[in-house]
Structure 1
Amino acid sequence: MGQEGGRAAWAFGGQVGGQGVSYGPVEVATTPATVHVRDSKHTAGPRLAVAPAAWADFVTYASGS
């Protein structure tokens, strides 16, 4: 992840889901101020943008740690 030429570089994030439900693969791109998430199958579609601290909290929660 990180930036390429001033633009966020998208990285494949794997599958997200719970209880056997797959929501499909997602991609994540980071900038110093924002973490962006998008559907890797629909890259032109809607995107989620959150603060890095909120993303870290989500990842901790989702991993069950």
Structure 2
Amino acid sequence: MDSLYVLIPIAILFVIIAVGIFLWAVRSDQFEDLERQGMNVLLDDDGPKAASAAKPQQPSDKPDAD
């Protein structure tokens, strides 16, 4: 029974901290655009690395030295 005198204030403290973090997240617009990150996975990457990798290699004009 004596442990409840310690555990209940600790639990209340955890709830207050969790509510504070949630309110901070709401006020700083953390939940503003939830679908954008999910859609970024589906979009193609048209950066320079992707363009150079998709380009077929041209044969060189130099004759082979056999």
Q: Tell me the TM-score normalized by structure 2.
A: 0.23
Indicate the structure with greater strand content: 1
Q: Which has the higher contact order (CA 8 A, sep 6+)?
A: 1
